[in-house]
Amino acid sequence: MTAISNVILVHGAWADGSSWSKVIPLLVEKELSVTTVQLPLTTFEADVAAVRRAIALTDGDVVLVGHSYAGAVIGEAGNAPKVARLVYIDAFAPDAGESAGSLFAQFEAAPLGAEIKPDAEGFLKLTRTGIFDLFAQDVDETEKAVLDAAQGPINGAALGGVLTQAAWKSRPAFYLVGTQDRAIPPAEQEKMAARMGATVAHVESGHVPMLSHPAAVADFIAQAAA
């Protein structure tokens, strides 16, 4: 495979583009051109459209990276011709006809589920316990507090967004498994990665390795780009 210089990073639910703040400088040091998408988290279609706009503005082939819920988003948006490779970081990897939510419902042990709380308009937010003990248990206390205060609620319907065509069926896929993840169980990550035939690596991390192990995440993305 030829080297690719463009990387597009897509954050998951209960987050925003700043979740990549530690990874971006490391990728730039590796002479990669980086774009971070800000998802509206209002509908699956709106999130896919945001990623497609970023792809359209990029000059040349793209390595498209998704964390958590964004694995579903890049699985749909990644069908754009410029997307050459897909990278999943502790992410859902639905097939056509599946969604992040339908996969999550099948997981046997996903303790984060009990800490997801809806508001009157159907937007979902994590409890403080969910952030501190399950979502980001291996980052420092200050970072946990920031994540809790700044989390981006996601419309529950977005998690039900169904893929029409899974981009990983026609492109090389790479999957980084967080072995201490309490949101998407590592065993489920392994199953999704195996189904994709992905190149797999592991990091001893919770659900947000971009914050707890940014060098490992940056190195894995650079590997996919190279």
For the chain, give the mean pLDDT.
Answer: 96
* pLDDT tens readout for residues 143-171: 999 999 999 899 999 999 999 999 999 99
pTM: 0.97
Is 106 contained in some domain? yes
pLDDT score of 108 more than 80? no
How many structural domains is the chain composed of? 1
pLDDT of residue 119: 94
pLDDT score of 109 more than 90? no
Cβ(89)–Cβ(64) under 8 Å?
Answer: no
Is 1 contained in some domain? no
Over residues 4-20, mean pLDDT: 96
Which domain covers residue 172, as residue numbers?
Answer: 6-225
Q: What secondary structure does DSSP assign to the chain, as a single string? A: -----EEEEE--TT--GGGGTTHHHHHHHTT-EEEEE----S-HHHHHHHHHHHHHTSSS-EEEEEETTHHHHHHHHTTSTTEEEEEEES-----TT--HHHHHHH-S--GGGGGEEE-TTSEEEE-HHIIIIIISTTS-HHHHHHHHHH---EEHHHHTPPPSS-GGGSS-EEEEEETT-SSS-HHHHHHHHHHHT-EEEEES--S-HHHHSHHHHHHHHHHHH-
Over residues 22-46, mean pLDDT: 97
What's the Cα-to-Cα distance from 84 to each of 6, 11, 51, 53, rounded to whole Å?
Answer: 10, 19, 14, 16
pLDDT score of 132 more than 90? yes
pLDDT of residue 53: 98
Is 70 contained in some domain? yes
* pLDDT tens readout for residues 164-219: 999 999 999 999 999 999 999 999 999 999 999 999 999 999 999 999 999 999 99
Q: At what angle do helices 44-56 and 70-77 cross, to 10 degrees?
A: 60
pLDDT score of 112 more than 90? no
Query: Could you tell me which residue, 22 or 110, shows the higher pLDDT?
Result: 22
Is 77 contained in some domain? yes
Q: Tell me the CATH number at 212.
A: 3.40.50.1820
Is 84 contained in some domain? yes
Is 145 contained in some domain? yes
